């Protein structure tokens, strides 16, 4: 069992309430034990994918699992976020000019460097040596200089990748006809942006998903919870940012921002729960009220 001191340190580092400790012991420590057994069975680097809407706690879960793997089980583990593989601000501005203005906003499929992410996963799984891992500074809305990237020694026992759209498949084209919200209605009237995003998802994300061995999902009760959760997330980002020249968003900006993700978040909530290996259903307060295993783990 993870030492109480280490767990309390984790709570302080991530500004988590005291009751998260009992939450972790009930739900996430047993999950870590199951994942450790899968890694032993695989006898190679195990890649775990975590899906969850914005603010659902997927980054916290990834960090906690990494701590457990490293300190409790003596495994070499690292957690990555798909957010760190956003295209640079200049690259997204170029997409906005060439394809659609909404592509300036980070987050949707088509604004990630999927090729870079796949190459990093491959290196962490098989290359012997030090790997530089990109980092994205959300307060600056840009990728950090390569001199500031994290370093990891590969190969690793476990790699965790988390992301709000991770595992989401493309929608049928007819589903794109009606706008999902005001943003799509007013700023994507011809559907060009959502069709581009859908095409990118279909063409470039499938090979990434094939690299993931085990799928975990934190299922929000509905999209309505996402605004409040995302607002809390942005407040923490503002507190952590040490610069005055930043891109931390106001509540009004967040309300518009999350509309970029509504379509695929709702698509994920309706299609992914039956496809993942470990499903945790959340209530409005982000407390787990049910855990399920919809699909068995296959490590072929």
* pLDDT at residue 247, rounded to an integer: 63
Q: What is the DSSP letter of 175?
A: G
DSSP 108-172: STTSB-HHHHHHHHHHHHH--EEEEE--EETTTTEEPPGGG-EEEEES-SEEEEEETTTTPPPPP
90/109 Cα distance (integer angstroms): 17
197/255 Cα distance (integer angstroms): 20
Structural domains present in the chain: 4-291 (3.40.50.300)
pLDDT digits (tens, 9 = 90+) for 26-46: 999 999 999 999 999 999 999
Look-up of token digits 């088509």: 110
Q: Shortest CA distance to 215 belongs to which of 84, 64, 34, 27?
A: 34
CA dihedral 233, 239, 241, 242 (to 10 degrees): 180
Q: Shortest CA distance to 261 belongs to which of 229, 287, 213, 289?
A: 229
Query: Could you tell me the two tokens for 78?
Result: 């690292």
* pLDDT at residue 259, rounded to an integer: 95
pLDDT in tens, the chain (300 residues): 677 888 888 999 988 988 999 999 999 999 999 999 999 999 999 999 999 998 899 999 999 999 999 999 999 999 999 999 999 999 999 999 999 999 999 999 999 999 999 999 999 998 789 999 999 998 899 999 999 999 999 999 999 999 999 999 999 999 999 999 999 999 999 999 999 999 999 999 999 999 999 999 999 999 989 888 888 877 776 776 655 555 677 888 888 989 999 999 999 999 999 999 999 999 999 999 999 999 999 997
95/112 Cα distance (integer angstroms): 12
* pLDDT at residue 1, rounded to an integer: 63
């Amino acid at each position: 069992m993870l030492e109480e001191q280490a767990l309390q340190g984790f709570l302080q580092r991530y500004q988590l309430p005291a009751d998260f400790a009992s939450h972790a012991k009930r739900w996430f420590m047993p999950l870590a034990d199951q994942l450790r057994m899968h890694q032993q069975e695989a006898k190679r680097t195990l890649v775990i994918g975590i899906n969850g809407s914005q603010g659902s706690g997927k980054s916290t879960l990834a960090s906690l699992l990494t701590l457990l793997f490293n300190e409790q089980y003596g495994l070499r583990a690292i957690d990555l976020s798909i957010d760190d593989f956003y295209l640079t601000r200049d690259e997204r501005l170029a997409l906005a000019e060439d394809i659609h203005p909404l592509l300036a906003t980070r987050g949707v499929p088509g604004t990630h460097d999927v090729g870079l992410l796949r190459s990093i996963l491959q290196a962490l799984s098989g290359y012997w040596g030090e790997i530089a891992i990109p980092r994205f500074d959300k307060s600056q809305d840009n990728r950090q200089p390569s001199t500031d990237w994290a370093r990891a020694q590969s190969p690793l026992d476990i790699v965790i990748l988390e992301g709000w759209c991770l595992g989401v498949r493309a929608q049928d084209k007819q589903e794109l006809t009606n706008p999902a919200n005001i943003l799509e209605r007013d700023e994507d009237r011809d559907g060009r942006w959502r069709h581009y995003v859908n095409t990118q998802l279909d063409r470039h994300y499938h090979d990434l998903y094939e690299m993931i061995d085990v799928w975990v999902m934190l299922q929000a009760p509905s999209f309505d919870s996402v605004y409040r959760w995302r607002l809390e997330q942005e407040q923490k980002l503002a507190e952590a940012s040490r610069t005055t020249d930043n891109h931390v968003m106001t509540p009004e900006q967040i309300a518009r921002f999350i509309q970029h993700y509504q379509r695929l978040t709702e698509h994920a909530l309706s299609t992914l729960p039956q496809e993942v290996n470990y499903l945790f259903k959340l209530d409005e307060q982000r407390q787990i009220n049910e855990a399920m295993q919809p699909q068995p783990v296959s490590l072929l």
